Amino acid sequence: MAPTLEIIKKQQTEDIWDEPYFVNMGPQHPATHGVLRLFLELNGETIVRCDPRIGYLHRGVEKLSEFRTYAQDMLLTDRLDYIASAANNVGYCLAVEKLMGLEVPRRAQILRVIACEMARIASHLLWLATHALDIGAMTVFLYCFRDREWLLDIFEMMCGARLTVSYPRIGGVRMDVTPEIIDELYKFTEEFPKRIPEYETLIDVNRIWLKRTKGIAVVSGQEAVNLGLTGPSLRGSGVPYDLRRSVPYLIYDELDFEVAVEFEGDVYARYRVRMKEMREANKIIRQCLDKLSGTEGEPVLAENAPDLLMPFGKIKRPQAAPHPKKGYVVRGVELPVVPEGEVYVATEVPKGELGFYIVSDGTGHPWRMRIRAPSFVHISAIPAMCEGQMVADLIAVIGSVDIVLGECDR
Amino acid sequence: MSQQGIFTRVFLLEILKGLSLTFRKLFAKPVTVQYPEQKKPLAPGFRGRHALVRDPETGKDRCIGCYRCAQVCPAQCIFIETERDPETRKRIVKRYEIDALRCIFCGYCEEVCPVNAIVLTEFYEYSGYSRQDLYFNKEKLLQNWDEFIVTQKRPYFNPFWRPRGIPVEKLPAPKRKAEGV
């Protein structure tokens, strides 16, 4: 960074502005969606180079998880992408269940899909609200928060928390839903499709919105794949890759929904994809509610699911042969064992592909847990997307790839 | 440019469309709540301030000192100290403390407690001037319960004490037939 410092010094002492100059955007900039610092090299108002500096929200989630049991690690995943925490929980639980070979009851699977899709709508609503606010549309912000509030209330009824829900647990979900919650969800799915046109009336044809978003940061499908984009950012470039469809997990293969794809690859296309996805998510919740009535009274936790109070250390294996289904018996108490091995499970969260890679050494805690966070990859794509654009468009670019720094820095 | 194009350009039709929507919302029912005066009803099972259940029969807490909550707590914010009564050889809970500033409100403690002694109450308006104010000892936790239970319908039963839809055999025996307080 020595030449950079020299140029800055020169610019401060002498009145020379023909050389590129350097600006720090963030880490406390309201439009960086968290504590992201972008080091910009500018030529006039055009971005020559953009260099994201991350790590301001690093809490060491991956390392912390090695010192907690599997049940306790699930609570750390709440705090990754705190806007859609239910989706993260489901991804983690699926990984551990695959490692243990657990079969989750059908009712719990349906409830998980409902929680995932509720989180998706809530996340996209918050994204639309803040993205529109960054670009200059204040009213959409208020309308989106009105509807997100409704979803958070339903989460509160389901599991007692609004943001860090920790609704699933290994082998099922924490709690069954009550008839009131199902009624409220039916009401929501009735009402929400009428709310989406409201946002679209406000911004979809608004000429300021169109000028700020159309043709900005165009990424072709090939480039998007090369950059490692996933989720709506990839589908906005015309690549119909959705893990819910290509690698179905839970009950997604039984559900009827479309993969939202747009082909322009600009900021506007990514916005259109997310609007379509909200409609599809609403459809999915509706179908799940219909399926839920067929599983009335069934348990929501697998029979051989581990307790919340899991042993941390190496489980001493007694002389007796292991129970074929339930694991090992220690002092008369049956303990399911997380076997040695490694597993990678990717799920489609609102931001993109969230993967959990867990290496287990047979103890009650992961030997290593690696999180493949979509936000981290998306931030690394920002420099390629914003080079040659104006500084003001950088705000639109940051918004359009939908990043959450809690997930990126972990 | 087509005739319609000029028309929309001059009269800002799309802006007017948006404005008509916001104008209509002027007469809609407000969704905001005037918070300190009005309050939103909380869902049962909301994970708020901690409390130790005061048993209506004995007037004391129900804790048996099994350390399960302290063990399951992912934030390690529960501190328990027990000793044996020299005569009856029964376990006495000498110290039961919760550091509310460390707590992440996951609700694991109330779910694993075999005697439903601890609860995360549906009470969220609390604050303190120092860290000590939010470090609850046993007396404070029982006081939290007294403050909370007067606002509730009796008998009170927290959904996390026996989560809905969990198979009975997964629960500890005293929890299966537990009743409200």
ipTM score of complex: 0.86
Question: Listing from the earlier edge strand, what are the strands of the sheet with A46-53?
Answer: A21-25, A37-43, A46-53
Higher pLDDT among residues A32 and A90, named by residue: A90
Least confident of A15-19, A354-358, B139-143: A15-19
Averaged pLDDT, A50-54: 87
Q: How far is B16 from chain A (nearest CA, A)?
A: 10
Nearest-CB residue to A301 (from B21, B42, B170): B170
Cβ atoms A105, A301 nearer than 8 A: yes
Cβ contacts of A118 within 8 Å, gap of 6 or more: A86, A151, A154, A155, A281, A285
**Number of other residues whose CB lies within 10 A of the CB of residue B1:** 8
Q: Which ranges of A136-231 would DSSP assign to H, the alpha helix?
A: 138-159, 179-203, 207-213, 221-227
Least confident of A96-100, A125-129, A289-293, B58-62: B58-62
Given an 8 Å threshold on Cβ–Cβ distance, is A174 in contact with B21? no
Averaged pLDDT, A253-276: 89
Q: Does A301 touch chain B (CB under 8 A)?
A: yes
Q: Which residue of A has its CA nearest to B160?
A: A175
Given an 8 Å threshold on Cβ–Cβ distance, is B17 in contact with A76? no
The pairing of strands A328-330 and A172-173 is unpaired
Cβ contacts of B9 within 8 Å, gap of 6 or more: B1
| Cα distance between residue B57 and residue A77, in whole Å | 41
**A21 SS3 class:** strand
Q: What is the CA radius of gyration of chain B?
A: 26
**A390 SS3 class:** strand
Residue A45 phi/psi, 5° resolution? -105, 5
Given an 8 Å threshold on Cβ–Cβ distance, is B21 in contact with A207? no
Nearest-CB residue to B45 (from A107, A160, A300): A160
Which pLDDT value is given to residue A16? 60
Least confident of A1-5, A196-200, A233-237, B77-81: A1-5
The type of residue at A385 is: M
Which pLDDT value is given to residue A301? 86
Q: Does A308 touch chain B (CB under 8 A)?
A: yes
Q: How far is B42 from chain A (nearest CA, A)?
A: 8
Task: Residue B35: list chain A partners with CB under 8 A.
Answer: none
Q: How many residues does chain B have?
A: 181
User: Helices A106-135 and A267-292 meet at what angle, rounded to 10?
Assistant: 150
pLDDT digits (tens, 9 = 90+) for A136-182: 888 888 888 988 999 999 999 888 888 888 899 888 888 888 888 99
| Cα distance between residue A386 and residue A398, in whole Å | 9
**Confidence band, pLDDT 50/70/90 cuts, at residue A324:** very low
**Confidence band, pLDDT 50/70/90 cuts, at residue A23:** confident
Q: Does A176 touch chain B (CB under 8 A)?
A: yes
Q: Which ranges of A204-322 would DSSP assign to H, the alpha helix?
A: 207-213, 221-227, 232-235, 243-246, 267-292
Q: Which helix (H) or strand (E) holds A363?
A: none
Given an 8 Å threshold on Cβ–Cβ distance, is A207 in contact with B14? yes
Given an 8 Å threshold on Cβ–Cβ distance, is B160 in contact with A149? no
Q: Which of A408, A370, A375, A376 is nearest to A63 (CA)?
A: A370
Q: Which one-letter DSSP state was computed for residue A159?
A: H
Sign of CA dihedral B44, A190, A167, A107: positive
**Confidence band, pLDDT 50/70/90 cuts, at residue A113:** very high
Reply yes or no on whether the pLDDT at A329 is more than 60. no
Which pLDDT value is given to residue A189? 92
The type of residue at A376 is: F
Higher pLDDT among residues B134 and A309, named by residue: B134
Cβ atoms B165, A179 nearer than 8 A: no
Reply yes or no on whether the pLDDT at A319 is more than 50. no
Q: How much is the mean pLDDT over chain A?
A: 84
pLDDT digits (tens, 9 = 90+) for A212-255: 888 888 888 898 899 888 988 898 888 888 888 888 888 888 88
Q: How far is A170 from chain B (nearest CA, A)?
A: 13
Q: Tell me the β-bridge partners of B51.
A: B119
Nearest-CB residue to A72 (from B74, B159, B165): B74
| Cα distance between residue B168 and residue A11, in whole Å | 73
Sign of CA dihedral A59, A62, A63, A64: positive
Task: Residue A198: list chain B partners with CB under 8 A.
Answer: 21
pLDDT tens track, chain B, 181 positions:
566 667 666 667 777 887 888 888 888 888 888 988 988 888 888 888 899 988 888 888 888 888 888 888 888 889 988 888 888 888 888 888 999 899 998 888 888 888 888 998 888 888 889 988 889 988 888 988 988 888 888 888 888 888 888 888 778 778 777 777 8
Given an 8 Å threshold on Cβ–Cβ distance, is A160 in contact with B163? no
**Number of other residues whose CB lies within 10 A of the CB of residue A96:** 25
Given an 8 Å threshold on Cβ–Cβ distance, is A160 in contact with B107? yes
> Which residue matches tokens 């039709």?
B13
Task: Residue B71: list chain A partners with CB under 8 A.
Answer: 309
DSSP per-residue letters across B92-148: EEEEEEEETTT-----HHHHH-TT--EEE-S------SSGGGGEE-HHHHHHHHHHH
Cβ atoms B65, B133 nearer than 8 A: no
> Which residue matches tokens 């959450």?
A404
Cβ atoms A123, A152 nearer than 8 A: no
Reply yes or no on whether the pLDDT at A337 is more than 80. no
| Cα distance between residue B124 and residue A371, in whole Å | 33
Quick one: what percent of chain A has pLDDT higher than 70? 89
The type of residue at A120 is: R
Q: Which of B76, B122, B113, B72 is nearest to B93 (CA)?
A: B113
> Chain A window 343-402: which residues touch B at a Cβ cutoff of 8 Å?
none
What does the H/E/C string look like for A320-336? CCCECCCEEEECCEEEC
Given an 8 Å threshold on Cβ–Cβ distance, is A166 in contact with B42? no
Which pLDDT value is given to residue B159? 86
**B54 SS3 class:** strand
**Confidence band, pLDDT 50/70/90 cuts, at residue A344:** very high
pTM across the whole model: 0.86
Q: Which one-letter DSSP state was computed for residue A365?
A: S
